[in-house]
Amino acid sequence: MLKLSGQQDRNGQFCDGFSRRSLLNIGTLAAIGTAGGWTLPSILKAEEAAGRKASPKSVIMIYLVGGPPHQDMFDLKPEAPREIAGPWRPIATTVPGMEICEAFPLLAGMADKFTIIRSLVGNQADHDAVQVFNGRNPKTPKPSGGWPQFGSMVSRVAGSSIPTAPPFVSLCYPCTHGPYNEPGPGFLGTAQAPFRPLGPTKEDMILNGVSLDRLADRKSLLRSVDQLRRDIDATMTMTGMDTFTEQAMGLLTSSRLAEALDLSKEDPKVVARYGKGDPTIFMDGNGAPRVPQSLLVARRLIEAGVRVVTLNYSKWDWHGGVNAEGRPNNSIFVREQEDFPVFDQCVSALIEDLDQRGLADDCAVVIWGEFGRTPKISNIVGRDHWPQVNCALMAGGGMRHGQVIGATDRIAGEAIARPVTFGEVYATLFHHLGINVDSATIADNNGRPQYLVEEGGKVMPELV
């Protein structure tokens, strides 16, 4: 491993190697800048010799809060009775034989760049985001402290890809319905919790009077960073800073990461391609906001060096009747007419953007919810919870796309071909990140090694 002049422990050993702490140590900065020390070309050369790639692998996970209706989106059954099929018609895509909802014409035009999983099984039956974020059914036994979510496991096993970027960033908005929220780092503890640039955390990230909202003022930022470095130079240490303070320092002293969160730095045409939503409007009162620009921020964070970005998007729990906002005409199909075109625009923009920017091989995308919806439309024009089968969309990651994996019966009620589990999807994502789920383990609170995915979770051969 490449070592710079970082902080040493009492035995003279490096505590963290090339860490955020080492980079911000003024001695390291001086060493890099001297003629006899490391130079940027020599660092890059050493990394290349050690097999480190310039573009680290990454994952964007998009949680469709409340459970999306699979039979209205990616597994339509037009020959089924009207009370099953609904009003939507399938349309052809660029992949022969693959059809999706007519409300997704942009996605239909790039079907060769994604994969539809129509047979996701083993879903739990409640509104609970746990399984989406860590692959484990919350009803099954768990170790003390609970299972960590995916990003926390990646943070623990792989760490940061670059010193100034946290390995795991959450763009999830806090939902008033608690089970919709991410489960957290579990037994790994707060050190592996996601970095959250939204909400109260954003207000706490202030360095010498400069908050994220003032980062556009480069002169103020530079003065603050200079003062920070003088403070570090005087003490030669950042010992005592907790994990969140270190992450905030890394964010505030990294122009790349700070700018990643600032969409004013993005080409307006690209912003328009994704679309915008109001982050203050939480769908149905307890879901997440419908904010397409979160997908763009996720792409920008990946470019800034983040390994895993999670986000929640809108609310898809459409039972019909009068909703929490008091809308009397709350049929599932009215809500789909609102959400589907926005979803089509922002998801197709993300897939297109990753491809055009040369990130499609390095960044994998997974989009899913906690379960599917009932085949039969209820008498109040909704679909209820249906754990028997679910769907997912995967893109990027250098995987073999342009295919449908699995199939359901004539009413989209049961998987009849190639059932896929959450563990298999997660094993495939870990594999993409270069982590072997057959050998990698993490220790729980009792010191017992735990595998990263549930038993039977194997890499999907269809994709890799």
248 found inside a domain = no
Domain housing 353: 55-197+261-451
Six-digit token pair at 110?
């790039």
408 found inside a domain = yes
Pairing of strands 385-386, 308-313: unpaired
Q: Are residues 303 and 323 in the same domain?
A: yes
Q: Are residues 138 and 8 in the same domain?
A: no
252 found inside a domain = no
Q: Are residues 322 and 335 in the same domain?
A: yes
pLDDT of residue 48: 52
- β-bridge partners, 169: 195, 309
Q: Are residues 50 and 61 in the same domain?
A: no
Q: Are residues 111 and 6 in the same domain?
A: no
Q: Are residues 80 and 19 in the same domain?
A: no
Q: List, for residues 39-98, the tens digit of each pLDDT value.
A: 444 544 554 555 444 568 999 999 999 999 999 999 999 999 999 999 999 999 999 999
Q: Are residues 390 and 276 in the same domain?
A: yes
Give the count of beta carbons closer than 10 Å to the beta carbon of residue 166: 31
Q: Are residues 8 and 156 in the same domain?
A: no
Q: List, for residues 272-318, the tens digit of each pLDDT value.
A: 999 999 999 999 999 999 999 999 999 999 999 999 999 999 999 99
237 found inside a domain = no
DSSP of 60-88, one letter per residue?
EEEEETT---HHHHTS--TTS-HHHH-S-
Q: CA torsion sign, 183 to 296 to 200 to 279? A: negative
Q: Are residues 291 and 431 in the same domain?
A: yes
Q: Are residues 2 and 124 in the same domain?
A: no
Q: Are residues 28 and 166 in the same domain?
A: no
Strand order of the β-sheet with 168-170 is 168-170, 308-313, 58-64, 363-368, 390-396, 114-120, 403-405
215 found inside a domain = no
Give the number of domains in the chain.
2
Q: List, for residues 136-145, the tens digit of each pLDDT value.
A: 999 999 999 9
338 found inside a domain = yes
